Structure 1
Amino acid sequence: MTFPFDALAACRAELEDEATVNDARAAFPTAGLDRLRQLGVLAAALPQTLGGLGFGTEPHGAAGLLHMLRLVGQGSLALGRVVEGHVNAIRLVALYGTPEQLAHVAAEVHDGALYGLWVTDGATPLRMDQTARGITLHGGKAFASGARHVTRALVTARAGQDVTRMLLVAMGAGRAVHDGGGGLTGMRGAGTGQCDLTGMTVLPSALVGQAGDYLRQPEFSAGAWRGMAVALGGIERLSALLRGQLAARGRAGSPAQQARIGMALIAAETALLWTRRAALLATGHDRFAAGDISATVNLARLAVERAGLEAIELVERGLGLSAFVRDNVVERIIRDLATYLRQPAPDETLCEAAAWFTQRDMPQPDIRA
């Protein structure tokens, strides 16, 4: 069984068109998600033994997952964010859950389910209490991608002082969801919302892994490479649009514009190389030290961010005011990419990675992998 990469690449235009139409009203890309589901994108992350391709759950699937997320990102960064969360949730269940939990996840995904990973607390942090009926939740999650469309979410909840657990919660019509992304200037199609889980009761079997598993290294840091892969797609798309629009206006021959085109290509390739390096290390837990993996992926995250910001600047300078006109697809992609690239504590991340490698060399993954 192989993944239809050519078919996914061919639907870029329809994903992009839907993203553009949906942007003004912050609508979720329902048609695009259905298209990806038909192509097998949502099932690809499952282990091969459970009918998937191992994209994200088996070491050999890293290259395929990188390419798949990259192609989705080229069509729609908002949809890429939703798919990334789906893959992340499945991976965490595969890593820390029981075989029975993973089998249940697989059955639901084959039946069309969309999973989400929600870890950012809302105004009232999510906590869990043991009761006679099971586990009762109090509080909620903010910046929950696909809040009204996710079938089941893997969430983190406080189980006591400095104790965090992961658990799977079913999402239904009865959940209170409030718009949480309407004020965002970018990624408006990701269906971001605030979800109040207060009063929800789940069985102990909903718990995934042990206390502290979500923050366990190197996985906690290493998983960032999947977000980089989606951002890479956006950077590549901006580079292609810069070249295409300059050529269409007869301005691509200008030395200044050629320099911008060249720098945009370098930025895209830089993002690709760092993302690939991070993916190779992140899936080589048995060959590399945990600190080496975490520090390298953190450097890669910052390198991709820098490449993305440079690509945005080059496109804005190269296209001028037309890059700020709303009926130009470039304007939306710039907003989406700028929002997607925002990650917490970049300065702290850089300093920690630099400190780690001050007295040791960076690991060298096998580039033939």
Structure 2
Amino acid sequence: MEIQIPILADGAATMSSLGMDKDSIKELLKQIADAAARTDKEKMFPEDAFEWLAEAGLLSVTLPGKQTDCQLPENDHILQLLKRVGAANLSVGRVYEGHINALNLIHLYATSEQKKSWYGDVNQQKKLFSVWNTQANDGVKLFSIGNGRYRMEGAKTFCSGAGWIKRPLVTGQLIGASKQGWQMCIIPTERVQAIPQDDSFWQPLGMRASASYKMDFTGIELDETDLLGQPDDYYKQPYFSGGAVRFAAVQLGGAEALFDETRTFLASMGRTDDVLQRTRLAEMAWLIESGNQWINAAGAKMDTWLTSGSDADKIVTYANMTRTAIEEICLRVMPLAERSVGARGLMRPLPFERIHRDLTFYLRQPAPDATIVDVGRYVLDNQKGANELWY
């Protein structure tokens, strides 16, 4: 039964379905949260959660004609959805964000025939997409072998979803073709040789269920229809760095989950009347609400700026501020929650311990210092007053 996303007057996105009431949708997210502990192990993946999301229509929610259609100014709504899924299970939120990212890149750079094919993979086949760009010294190269064919060589690391992703978007250096550069391709996994995966690589502190293995694409052959966009489209701004607001929204969902688990634990211990606990929870509450203000503002401003054609630098800088602010908010919420629950609250099987580990690991995103430096550069180079910078 497909879910739609009506928007409340306060700008927050909540979920209800055609034929399903709000309580039923809350049950979907609770179902995902309750199942999270079962897949909190290496070599496991929350398959059930993605089946439930697919049945609810949430894998295709950004496709043309859907309520958060990525052709429309709907960033603020999709950020709230990502936050809600992240609050249910950060590993599911991470993989789901990668799926949404891949579909957005298809919207931006695919031909009409490619869109028809790949959108059909989501709509009819319920296939999961993702974006795998991170690599080490043995990174991916795509060699032109003539007649519109290409052979891959090399591997990617941190491939979230690993073998469960049926349409991975993989990047690599295009070599030997008339055009050179960093090329995107989408691999039709059922039509190529099996992709070897190294799951021994994946022994993380948290986010175990995201199954972010190392994948070796050596020997895979593709044709022209599998290549997405032109070389170096992947790094075009503001879409490349601007996408950071999506993982920031998922992270904020993790902080909200910690907040809720802290309140539940204190209530179970009969400690809600303690003045120090109330003080800590008050601080957590305003920190999280400030995070909501950040992602709501980022979504609304990006919608406005992208529609009006504002300069990419401005959009990227605001996205960098948002991801930095959300990281700081999460890092402040976590020790407050720890102090509130104490050692007893950090014991399994309570969800707090897993959520804390997952959020600790997920907050380690690439180039945090460089994003701050970039914000400083922008505001120092810009001559507008502080009250005019973001309007």
Into which bin does the TM-score normalised by the smaller protein fall? over 0.9
Q: Does 1:16 align with 2:33?
A: yes
Q: Does 1:255 align with 2:300?
A: no
Deviations 1:90-119 (A, max 9, x none): 100110111111111111101211111100
Q: Write out aligned runs for 1:258-273 (5 A).
A: 258-273=278-293
Q: Write out aligned runs for 1:305-344 (5 A).
A: 305-344=327-366
2:159 is aligned with what amino acid? A
Residue 248 (structure 2) aligns with: 228
What is the aligned counterpart of 1:345 among 367, 381, 384?
Answer: 367
Quote how far apart the aligned CAs of 1:363 are: 4.3
What is the aligned counterpart of 2:223 among 203, 212, 215?
Answer: 203
Alpha-carbon RMSD across the aligned residues, in angstroms, is 1.9
**Structure 1 CA distance, aligned partners of 2:59 and 2:41?**
27
Q: Does 1:69 align with 2:91?
A: no
Deviations 1:218-269 (A, max 9, x none): 1111111111121121111111111121122111211211111011111211
Report the secondary structure of 1:325's partner residue: coil
1:2 is aligned with what amino acid? Q
Quote how far apart the aligned CAs of 1:164 are: 0.5
Quote how far apart the aligned CAs of 1:21 are: 1.6
Quote how far apart the aligned CAs of 1:122 are: 4.2
Are the counterparts in 2 of residues 221 and 297 from structure 1 also a CA contact under 8 Å? yes
**Structure 2 CA distance, aligned partners of 1:59 and 1:310?**
35
Identity of aligned residues (%): 30
What is the aligned counterpart of 1:145 among 152, 157, 160?
Answer: 160
**Structure 1 CA distance, aligned partners of 2:112 and 2:67?**
17
Residue 189 (structure 1) aligns with: 209
What is the aligned counterpart of 1:120 among 117, 123, 134?
Answer: 134
Residue 306 (structure 2) aligns with: 285
Query: What are structure 2's unaligned runs of at least 5 residues?
Result: 6-14, 17-21
Q: Write out aligned runs for 1:154-165 (5 A).
A: 154-160=169-175, 163-165=181-183
Are the counterparts in 2 of residues 84 and 226 from structure 1 also a CA contact under 8 Å? yes
Quote how far apart the aligned CAs of 1:22 are: 1.4
Report the secondary structure of 2:316's partner residue: helix
Are the counterparts in 1 of residues 76 and 298 from structure 2 also a CA contact under 8 Å? no
1:303 is aligned with what amino acid? A
Query: What are structure 1's unaligned runs of at least 5 residues?
Result: none
Report the secondary structure of 1:128's partner residue: strand
Deviations 1:48-96 (A, max 9, x none): 1xxx3344x1333223312221211111110011111001001001101
**Structure 2 CA distance, aligned partners of 1:156 and 1:53?**
30
Q: Residues 75 and 333 (structure 1 numbering): CA distance in 2 closer, same or farther, change over 3 Å?
A: same
Are the counterparts in 1 of residues 205 and 357 from structure 2 also a CA contact under 8 Å? yes
**Structure 2 CA distance, aligned partners of 1:229 and 1:223?**
10
Report the secondary structure of 2:73's partner residue: helix
Residue 111 (structure 2) aligns with: 98
2:289 is aligned with what amino acid? E
Q: Residues 184 and 97 (structure 1 numbering): CA distance in 2 closer, same or farther, change over 3 Å?
A: same
Report the secondary structure of 2:284's partner residue: helix
**Structure 2 CA distance, aligned partners of 1:326 and 1:77?**
17
Residue 189 (structure 2) aligns with: 171
> Matched residue pairs, number?
361
